Amino acid sequence: MRTIDDLQVAGHRVLVRSDLNVPLDRSGDSPRITDDGRVLASAPTIRALAERGAKVVVCSHLGRPKGEYDEKYSLAPVAARLSEILGQPVTFTGTEGSNDIAGDAVAAVVAGLGDGEVALLDNLRFHPGETSKDAAVRAAFADDLAALAEFYVGDAFGAVHRAHASVADVPKRLPHAAGGLVLAELEVLRKLAGDARRPYVVVLGGSKVSDKLGVIRALLPKVDALLVGGGMCFTFLAAQGHGVGASLLESEMIDTCKDLLAEGGDRIVLPTDVVIADRFAADAATDVVPAAGIRDGWLGLDIGPSSTELFAARLAGAGTIFWNGPMGVFEMAPFAAGTKGVAEAVAAQTGAGAFTVVGGGDSAAAVRTLGIPETSFSHISTGGGASLEFLEGKSLPGIAALEV
């Protein structure tokens, strides 16, 4: 796989596919980025190209607009933050109300860039061709994007599992290379998928067993312990014959969980207590009960304090830790303690010499929301879904395109 060092970019236009899909708070007078981690992670590759004299054209998606302009998904606030991080102006090519992402007007702006200057296109998903299932529609948009540049750099690790125009089709049309972020992510994930230093402990949370089934099956034969929290733990508890009240439950996955428990034995560790609530709200009535004692009509929204201690004990002394998915609804204060406790336990093992990886998505958001320094972990991934699919052994379209 080529790197940006293999491209002679000075004086040439380089299209960089970054992942600038950041959360925005629109409750005030102007949109505010609440977590700029992906912008910070994307900046080094953009800066390196600009410093080498490239005319850098950055593109990204944001959220899930439906193939048309939607002001709340505009990348305009991201352009401002990227400019601050880079310490130089970033020309934003978007026009309010327009989904013309790579048309003549945008091409004219790009053509006017000087060496070392940076432009940011508006949301790729404003154009229906970005995510179209129709290969011809996708190809036409890829042609327009490719016409903006002479080189392509894929650096959007959080999107490499998507067969989208900017990710998988544009590299077929231009000399291309992987950006530094993608290369760093792959290096980390290959350690997790290969001969990881033992003991190897995986912590999985999040809502559904079905979302994590592939990675569970792939990693279970390799790990010394698999700690299960979050909403997905209740399907495992149901598989043990426990009532789970009104908690999240995938009834169609109960037999699958029984099989996994039989295969994993005592390597699969489930919560021993849970925080329950009478409704899904920050001001709900709450209680801590044994995992086998969830009351009818109540729902589990976090692992309990004893479970947090148990998980921390199983993490102690680990050589490698992979954590993906919160232990509870950490966005609500009454249900954040389990996620924070596990995050602190993982961080403690980093200090003890373990190789610790936070698997992107909600886990990365939780680390920042709960105020745990990012330097407390060996690596925080920018792509939760991409990380999981890589560890499952799936081919990632964006990576496959860069390898050609």
Which residues belong to the annotated binding site for (2R)-3-phosphoglycerate?
A: 38, 125, 162
The 10 Å CB-count burial string (b at 16+, else e) for 7-25 is: bebeebbbbbbbbbbbebe
Is 17 in contact with 154 (CB distance < 8 Å)? yes
Catalytic choice (37, 179, 230, 385): 385
User: Angle formed by the axes of helices 337-351 and 305-315, to 10°?
Assistant: 20
Residue 208 annotated in active site: yes
Q: Which residues are documented as binding site for ATP?
A: 212, 300, 331, 360-363
Count of residues in the chain? 404
Set 38, 55, 138, 314: catalytic member: 38
Binding residues for substrate: 19-21, 38, 61-64, 125, 162
The annotated binding site is made up of 19-21, 38, 61-64, 125, 162, 212, 300, 331, 360-363
Residue given tokens 């972990």 in the structure block: 377
Task: Choose, from 2, 173, 208, 368, the residue flagged as catalytic.
Answer: 208
SS3 content of the chain, % helix, strand, coil (to 5): 45, 15, 40
Catalytic residue among 231, 361, 383, 384: 361
DSSP output for 158-197 = GGTTS--IIIIIGGGTS-EEE-HHHHHHHHHHHHHHSSPP
**In terms of DSSP H, where are the helices of 220-282?**
233-239, 254-264
Buried b (16+ CB within 10 A) or exposed e, 52-79: bbbbbbbbbbbeebeeebbeebbbebbb
385 belongs to the catalytic site: yes
Handedness of CA 272, 239, 315, 277 (dihedral sign): negative
320-324/200-204 β-pairing: parallel
Residues catalogued as catalytic = 38, 208, 361, 385
